[in-house]
Amino acid sequence: MATQAPTRTNSIMRDNYGRRRVVNRIMVGLLCLCAIITLVPLFAVGGYVVREGWPALVGQFPGIFTAPSPEGGELLYGLEGTALLIAIACAIGLPIGILSGIYLAEFGRNRLGDTVRFMSDVLAGLPSIVAGIVAYSIVVLTTHHYTPFAGGLALGLLMFPTVTRATEGVVRLVPDTLREGGLALGVSRWRTIVSVIIPASLSGIITGVVLGIARVAGETAPLIFTVLGNLNGFSGWDQPLPALPLQIYQDFINPQDPNQDYPVGYAGVLVLFLFVVLLNLGARAVAARRMARGR
């Protein structure tokens, strides 16, 4: 760097300014073009989802949300299934995520901490289908049942890295004066963490949890062969379970009757899209407000 820079800049200076200014204009224009190219798909997808989903949702309202009838209730079942799966995922993923995050922030300035930090970053990029087959082999292959637990396990595996890193981030932001205050008063360290540090960073931890939920709420791939999906809603802990993203996939890929399944699918797409986007926006808004407060 240091040795190359002068020769490069010399070559810049020899060129005439007019040409360089034109190049500059063109390149800045291209950067703006990049932004437009990126945002076109967002509006294309969002517009499509609303255009198809809104009439479908309104047209079938409130039938698709009320259970159970021959031609209604699909979305209700899907939403119930998704809620159940998220609850199981939280039961598995949150203890690991939150407690390992606390470890990293409070005790993690050592080699184990570095390793765990690195590994949770790497696991954040875990392909969702891999979480699916791992859960499939651990639960479905051994119990010979499609069960909500298998799906919840897969989602939990996908969820916890997000929570780990978010928790570490916010717990670390708590000023050391609070920790020192606790120690100076003769309070044990764990008590300080539980009664002072965690309450002080609670809103941040919750933000991390919400982001974790948003990360997995729309996942389809790990559910195909763990909960399988069904048409009757939750029917037992050792039975297949429907879930909203899975239903959408099946409505479009394997429709029993496109005239009936597509509108349900479109309504589901809109509901899922809004749910995930709003979770994300909400978590980000809370996080941004906390940052603005300077914490």
For position 31 contacting other proteins by CB under 8 A, the verdict is yes
From the list 73, 78, 81, 108, which residue makes contact with other proteins (rule: CB under 8 A)?
A: 108
From the list 64, 88, 100, 210, which residue makes contact with other proteins (rule: CB under 8 A)?
A: 100
Stretch that binds other proteins, among 28-36, 54-62, 63-71, 232-240 (CB under 8 A): 28-36
For position 248 contacting other proteins by CB under 8 A, the verdict is yes
For residues 118 and 237, which CB has a smaller minimum distance to other proteins in the complex?
Answer: 118
User: How many angstroms separate the CA atoms of 122 and 16, rounded?
Assistant: 48
Stretch that binds other proteins, among 39-47, 64-72, 73-81, 234-242 (CB under 8 A): 39-47
Sign, CA dihedral 284-289-292-295, equals: negative
Nearest-5° angle of CA 190, CA 191, CA 193?
65
- Could you tell me the smallest distance in angstroms from the CB atom of residue 174 to other proteins? 9
For position 255 contacting other proteins by CB under 8 A, the verdict is no
Stretch 66-85 residues interacting with other proteins (CB under 8 A): none
Stretch 168-227 residues interacting with other proteins (CB under 8 A): 175, 177-178, 181-182, 185-196, 199-200, 214, 217-221, 224-225
Which tokens sit at 89? Answer: 């995922």
- Could you tell me the smallest distance in angstroms from the CB atom of residue 93 to other proteins? 10
Stretch 276-295 residues interacting with other proteins (CB under 8 A): 276-277, 280-281, 284, 291-295
For position 149 contacting other proteins by CB under 8 A, the verdict is no
Residue count, binding to other proteins (CB under 8 A)? 114
For residues 44 and 87, which CB has a smaller minimum distance to other proteins in the complex?
Answer: 44
- Could you tell me the smallest distance in angstroms from the CB atom of residue 189 to other proteins? 5
